Structure 1
Amino acid sequence: MHLINYISVLLLMVSSSCTQTKLIKTEPPEWTKTAAIYEIMPKQFTPQHNLKGITQELARLRNQYVSAVSILPIFTTLDINNAYNPGDPYACSEFLTIDPALGTDHDFKTLIDSAHHFNIKVLLEFNLTYTTPNHPWRKEYPEFYKSCQAKNDTAFNQDYIRFNLEHKTLQKKLHILEHWMKDFPLDGFVLMNADQFPESFLNLLGSKINSKKFYLVSGSNTPEFVERGYFDSYFNYDLYHLFIKMVDNTCTSQDFKSLMEINEKATFKNASILFNQNALLNNKDGTETQRFYGFYKLCSVLSILTGGIPMMMNGQEEPMFDRINPYSNQAIVFNKFFSRDFFRSLFIHRVDNPAIQSIQDNLPVIISDATHVLAFERKHGEASIVVMANLTNQVQSFTLKNDYIQRLEFFTRALTNFEKNKSYTLNPYQYIVLTNIK
């Protein structure tokens, strides 16, 4: 079903004379149907700045109904502030050993065992398309990289640190995913920059693993790779781009309808990973509250309820008003937890209400013709969830196509009635969620 049992073959291009194989993927692992993923920056997550600190927080995460953690690279990084990729937590100086500052192999095994005790899956993130400039291969095997030229005029040449994914000899040197799969009972990998993998490379990787239990995620916006059977899921940046449009009031319900149609056409529906914040966005754009001030919770509601697998980033339960600094080990300050119950209640409801689980027959249906109000219902059997959301910073009116009588408003727990063809208004970025599951 996926790529990888040997990523001793990770960066290999098969020659044109080789037979290309394509794995026919079955549906994603069963546990993803109710999954809520929590992304962790290991050096900033706790005051201990290490794997033991993460282990100590697992009980709290389980109480928050997190069911999977996705941990950024834990490999050795000697030059986090280098000139080519400064502050990039995905740029590693070595792929096979745990950074001593984070802990030992034993610490990581203890973390995974403890997570499994709490019924939490553990995913490990990789970016195997580039390194830091001080990776030993940069000197020993310069042919592994796209360029030997350190600078272009006065600028640092990014191809100097980027792997040449077509170099066949790389398979003899890379034992990366194979090593981590063999030595640690991980539940999956997230492969960043997967959109840069050549198809012949994907075919080769796909031929090396056939495990229904192992969860493989593309960290790029690559629904086509899921369709072809190379990955179980992908990071859905299309939804995030709609949130960006909401900042200047240019987002419409038709934009969301178009996004929903992509999901509807997919072989495995509701399989993309949805979010309004992750580690890459933290580095690039800052925090959710900085980008979406005034409606960041609405973005989270849509990420969790629109249709897919929700992911939140460490610190969103506070929430975060300052960007996490990847240049330093300054720990996230957890002391308020203002949004913890918000996320917890939605994640619990994802377990309790099959209408919002990642299954095949509960796709969202638009229930209003309003331009700037997104209103949709998802159903599975008798279970239902209804979302009404103002996509702008202005008051908006709308009508519904159906009656929703004696429904429980999810956040206030008040019984409410919404009648079809009756006019209602929503304040700027206001949202209402109705459920029939108490």
Structure 2
Amino acid sequence: MKKTLLALLCAFITSAASAQSVSTVVHPEWSKNAAIYEANIRQYSPEGSFKKFEEYLPELKKMGVGVIWIMPINPIGKVNRKGTLGSYYAVADYTAVNPEFGTPEDFHHLVNAIHAQGMKVIIDWVANHTAWDHPWAKTHPEYYIHDAKGNFVPPVPDWADVIKLDYGNAQLRSEMINALKYWISNYDLDGFRCDVAAMVPTDFWNDARTQLDQIKPVFMLAEATERDLQEHAFDMTYGWQFKDVWGDIAKGKKNAADLVAYLHGEEAGYNPNSYRMLHTSNHDLNSWEGTEFDRLGDAVETFLVLSNTLKGMPLLYQGQEAGNTKALDFFERDPIIWKDHPYRALYTKLFHLKQTNHALWNGLAGGQPQLIKTADDDHIFAFSRSKDNDQIIGIFNLSDKARKFSSNDPILQGSFTDPLTGQSGQSASAPIELKAWEYRLLVK
């Protein structure tokens, strides 16, 4: 039976590898060892302003954040608005700033301040749809999809506050790319996070990336998992699949062996040059599915560390460093309650480790994970990543019971340092007792 399962797994791996996507994307140099921070300006403070968020930049620099992704900054439509303030993703003007957050000058100042701290900044871009009262709805109705009666239509029924654009229209494509260029040329932004990117034709994104790179090398993040988006257009896609596997493991529905199967299967189809964003929360998860504490329970810290050490770029959603336990209201002002929390120090250590340890770098700049076979493959997940003279080993008990890690893999030989405690002379080859959801990181 074991030989049959092994043969099937090998065939699965071979099939996934043969289906691996291509990538011609040239990543900005600064992205190779960056961690990303998602900023929700509305909920950062009671003021919900660019100016107030700007005060926090020195702290983000101290934490080791490399790039700040700011949720949509455009004015929000009033027609069919959801809630009092509306959804950030119901854009009423692609080249204006939402007065809720401040003035264009305030945003200019924020971007300059981020750059002065040595960090980069991207903004959320909503190319798939606009608010009902975007000027195009009157001046260029041909830019939109219509139903059989000639009415505008939402992209999906629940998104009743927005209407879908028609990318069969060449002039729309040109206007949208010009709007993207506006922010690069006038605000010196470093790229975009593109909302529901797979709902927009890939060839549009390919064209947009080519034209934007002619202004400056940009960083493009797609809210999507489709591999073709990373062939020519996007540096990074969402690692949504990890979120699903991790959630099932935390609930006891899956185990470490399922994570290995995913890595050897679907994930192996992504090109090694393509970045994947790994996270335990973001604005959608927090508001619609609950906080990471709601979804992952006692395993939160385990998957936090795993998301920072597996191959990919780790995301920190604003408030996670404060241990935020509130699902934030999406359409109203609902400020984060800031407090001291151990996760700030943990993220700081992990982000700084990513900056300096080449094995943890992104894409081809970093080390490819080598999975380590253990005596308890169903519950212990272990891997090594090596690049240049750096190595990191991660050992994770992905269960709610105490387990023992043991392996005779030669990759474990030598003396290591625990990067979180600073203790040197650590062994990875001796059996290690792990409490429920406990993990161990070792570097050399």
- Which residue matches 1:358? 362
1:23-38 to structure 2, matched below 5 A, reads: 25-38=24-37
Q: CA deviation at 1:396?
A: 3.0
CA contact (8 A) 2:80 2:132 kept: no
Separation (CA, whole Å) in 2 of partners of 1:39 and 1:415: 34
SS at match of 1:108: helix
Separation (CA, whole Å) in 2 of partners of 1:267 and 1:179: 31
- Which residue matches 2:406? 399
Equivalent residue pairs, number: 410
Separation (CA, whole Å) in 2 of partners of 1:80 and 1:424: 60
Query: Which of these residues, 409, 421, 424, is aligned with residue 418 of structure 2?
Result: 409
CA contact (8 A) 1:270 1:309 kept: no
Provide the identity percentage.
22
| Structure 1 pair 435–80 and aligned structure 2 pair: CA distance change class (3 A) | farther
Query: Which of these residues, 233, 236, 241, is aligned with residue 236 of structure 2?
Result: 233
- Which residue matches 1:336? 340
- Which residue matches 1:13? none
Q: Does 1:298 align with 2:305?
A: no
- Which residue matches 1:367? 372
Letter aligned with residue 334 of structure 1: W
CA contact (8 A) 1:44 1:331 kept: yes
Separation (CA, whole Å) in 2 of partners of 1:66 and 1:202: 27
| TM-score, normalised by the number of residues in structure 1 | 0.85
Q: Deviations over 1:237-295 (max 9, x none)?
A: 12111211112223333433344446666444362221111112223212111111211
Query: Which of these residues, 202, 207, 222, is aligned with residue 205 of structure 2?
Result: 202
| TM-score, normalised by the number of residues in structure 2 | 0.84
Q: CA deviation at 1:160?
A: 6.6
Structure with bigger RCO (C-alpha 8 Å, 6+ apart): 1
Letter aligned with residue 179 of structure 1: Y
| Structure 1 pair 203–386 and aligned structure 2 pair: CA distance change class (3 A) | closer
Separation (CA, whole Å) in 2 of partners of 1:118 and 1:157: 37
| Structure 1 pair 221–43 and aligned structure 2 pair: CA distance change class (3 A) | same
- Which residue matches 1:271? 275
CA contact (8 A) 1:133 1:161 kept: yes
CA contact (8 A) 1:404 1:417 kept: no
- Which residue matches 2:49? 50
Structure 1 unmatched ranges of 5 or more: 1-22
Structure 2 unmatched ranges of 5 or more: 1-21
The structure with the greater share of residues assigned to helix is 2
Q: Does 1:382 align with 2:389?
A: yes
| Structure 1 pair 70–159 and aligned structure 2 pair: CA distance change class (3 A) | closer
SS at match of 1:339: helix
CA contact (8 A) 1:350 1:357 kept: yes
CA contact (8 A) 2:220 2:235 kept: yes
CA contact (8 A) 1:165 1:197 kept: yes
1:102-181 to structure 2, matched below 5 A, reads: 102-147=101-146, 148-149=150-151, 158=160, 161-171=163-173, 173-174=175-176, 175-181=178-184
Query: Which of these residues, 412, 435, 440, is aligned with residue 432 of structure 1?
Result: 440
| Structure 1 pair 317–200 and aligned structure 2 pair: CA distance change class (3 A) | closer
Letter aligned with residue 165 of structure 1: Y
CA contact (8 A) 2:251 2:296 kept: no
SS at match of 1:317: helix
CA contact (8 A) 2:84 2:331 kept: no
